[in-house]
């Protein structure tokens, strides 16, 4: 195993700030510190800190051991963290992993867009939000989070879907949803709206589009301009048209589709492979809680779930 682009890794115990560890098998681990990580050929022991793991085809089965959990890869990208209190977090960004604790009664499979917290007793609970600080290094002083919480009214003991908050998430070819690999693209002969720069994107769960009772509540630390990107093929629900102003710009959606020959690849670059379009809706909100409703009920079955963007209100 080696530390990518630096030198051969000789020490089995690392106390680091930030590094990338690459195994000959094709496993790559981004380590954010301070982290204590013990390296072995087919697994690692994470005692404290944060890691993001990407496993190449052929290296499936790689494991991360923590004080309370065993996380097994099945061809994926995922994150694991252990904080100073002993709480653990696991989230799946692509593919699938299995997690096993003393309290889980066997391995629980989690797929793209799902995450859990593991408390000191080994009990699993839903991980609601993954942001830039959860598994990666970000200085809070430079970019204090604008969105401090995202919750919904979906009730299930076996639901592990998370929301992902991405700073500057509106970019060409950037991901839209936590459970799909669909991407944003500018529409033909246009660019992505500049007013969405320096904002925070809430990546939602596309499958929530058909939940008639769905509600999402954001908690904002400061006053903000709130944007909803909404499938233009749908009739806007009352909560949206009644509280938001529709803007003239559109944002393109490049969807990964499944054909008889397999997955259709996504195109790269603005104006390419635009399958659908979002309209953009805007309102101004104060600090505190703000509630959003459903996607337009059952008419959404073959359409797209909305996503939310928040940008701090600039003081004059």
Same domain, 48 and 192: no
Same domain, 164 and 307: yes
Beta bridge partners, 61, equal none
Over 80: is that where the pLDDT of 208 sits?
yes
The answer as to whether 139 is a domain residue is no
pLDDT band per the 50, 70, 90 thresholds, residue 234:
very high
Runs of H (alpha helix) within 138-269: 238-243
How much is the pLDDT for 12?
44
How much is the pLDDT for 4?
41
pLDDT band per the 50, 70, 90 thresholds, residue 105:
confident
Over 90: is that where the pLDDT of 120 sits?
no
The answer as to whether 283 is a domain residue is yes
Q: What values do phi and psi take at 243, rounded to 5?
A: -115, -15
Same domain, 115 and 221: no
The answer as to whether 94 is a domain residue is yes
The answer as to whether 137 is a domain residue is no
Over 60: is that where the pLDDT of 147 sits?
yes
pLDDT band per the 50, 70, 90 thresholds, residue 219:
very high
Same domain, 239 and 160: yes
**Please, are residues 228 and 306 in contact by the beta-carbon 8 Å criterion?**
yes
Same domain, 19 and 58: yes
Count Cα neighbours of 288 within 13 Å in the Cβ-side half-sphere.
Answer: 3
pTM above 0.75, yes or no: yes
More confident residue, 207 or 315: 207
How much is the pLDDT for 139?
56
Over 80: is that where the pLDDT of 60 sits?
yes
pLDDT band per the 50, 70, 90 thresholds, residue 19:
confident
Same domain, 158 and 294: yes
Domain end position, chosen among 94, 127, 160: 127
Total structural domains in the chain?
2
pLDDT band per the 50, 70, 90 thresholds, residue 122:
confident
DSSP single-letter state for residue 152: E
Over 60: is that where the pLDDT of 116 sits?
yes
Q: Which of 62, 61, 78, 70 is nearest to 102 (CA)?
A: 70
Distance (Å, rounded) from C-alpha 188 to C-alpha 99?
44
Give tens-digit pLDDT for 20-30: 889 989 999 99
- Average pLDDT on 53-63 reads 93
Domain that holds residue 256: 147-312
How much is the pLDDT for 75?
85
Helix (H) / strand (E) containing 184:
strand 183-185
Lowest mean pLDDT among 210-214, 218-222, 269-273: 269-273
Over 60: is that where the pLDDT of 83 sits?
yes
**Please, are residues 270 and 291 in contact by the beta-carbon 8 Å criterion?**
no
Q: Is 285 exposed, middle or buried (0-12, 13-18, 19+ CB in 10 A)?
A: middle
Provide the sign of the torsion angle of the four alpha carbons 3, 6, 9, 11, taken in this order.
negative
Same domain, 159 and 274: yes
The answer as to whether 225 is a domain residue is yes
Helix (H) / strand (E) containing 291:
strand 288-292
Same domain, 153 and 116: no
Over 70: is that where the pLDDT of 297 sits?
no
* Residue 297 three-state SS: helix
Give tens-digit pLDDT for 148-161: 999 999 876 668 99
Over 80: is that where the pLDDT of 187 sits?
yes
Same domain, 83 and 161: no
Distance (Å, rounded) from C-alpha 300 to C-alpha 51?
36
Instruction: At 47, list the tokens.
Output: 């005692």
Give tens-digit pLDDT for 253-286: 999 866 555 556 577 777 778 999 999 999 999 9
**Please, are residues 241 and 279 in contact by the beta-carbon 8 Å criterion?**
no
How much of the chain, in percent, has pLDDT values that exceed 70? 86
pLDDT band per the 50, 70, 90 thresholds, residue 5:
very low
The answer as to whether 133 is a domain residue is no
Same domain, 94 and 237: no
Same domain, 123 and 152: no
Q: What CATH number does residue 43 fall under?
A: 2.60.120.1440
Same domain, 181 and 104: no
For residue 260, CA distances in Å to 179, 183, 257, 264, 274 come to 21, 22, 10, 10, 21
Q: What average pLDDT does the structure give for the chain? A: 87
- Average pLDDT on 76-92 reads 94
The answer as to whether 142 is a domain residue is no
The answer as to whether 141 is a domain residue is no
pLDDT band per the 50, 70, 90 thresholds, residue 2:
very low
Could you tell me whether strands 200-203 and 163-167 are parallel, antiparallel, or unpaired per DSSP bridges?
antiparallel
More confident residue, 214 or 268: 214
């Amino acid at each position: 195993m080696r530390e990518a682009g630096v030198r051969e890794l000789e020490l089995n115990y690392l106390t680091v700030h930030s590094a990338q560890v690459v195994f000959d098998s094709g496993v790559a681990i981004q380590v954010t510190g301070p982290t204590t990580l013990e390296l072995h050929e087919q697994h690692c022991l994470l005692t404290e800190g944060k890691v993001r793991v990407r496993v190449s085809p052929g290296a499936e089965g790689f494991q991360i051991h923590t004080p309370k959990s065993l996380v097994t890869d099945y061809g994926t990208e995922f994150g694991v963290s252990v904080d100073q209190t002993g709480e653990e977090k696991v989230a799946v960004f692509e593919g699938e992993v299995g997690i096993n604790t003393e309290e889980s009664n066997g391995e629980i499979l989690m797929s793209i867009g799902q995450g859990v917290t593991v408390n000191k007793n080994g009990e699993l609970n839903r991980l609601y939000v993954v942001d830039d600080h959860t598994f990666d290094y970000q200085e809070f002083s430079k970019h204090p989070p604008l969105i401090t919480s995202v919750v919904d009214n979906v009730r299930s003991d076996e639901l592990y879907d998370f929301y992902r908050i991405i700073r500057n998430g509106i970019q060409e070819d950037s991901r839209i949803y936590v459970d799909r690999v669909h991407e944003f693209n500018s529409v033909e002969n246009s660019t992505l709206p500049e007013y969405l720069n320096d904002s925070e994107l809430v990546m939602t769960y596309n499958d929530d589009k058909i939940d008639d009772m769905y509600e999402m509540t954001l908690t904002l630390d400061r006053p903000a301009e709130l944007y909803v990107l909404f499938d233009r093929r749908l009739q806007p629900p009352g909560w949206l048209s009644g509280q938001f102003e529709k803007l003239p710009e559109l944002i393109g959606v490049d969807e990964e589709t499944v054909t008889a020959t397999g997955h259709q690849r996504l195109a790269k670059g603005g104006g390419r492979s635009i399958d659908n379009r979002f309209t953009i809706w805007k309102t101004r909100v104060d600090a505190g809680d703000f509630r959003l409703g459903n996607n337009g009920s059952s008419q959404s079955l073959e359409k797209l779930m909305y996503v939310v963007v928040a940008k701090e209100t600039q003081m004059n």
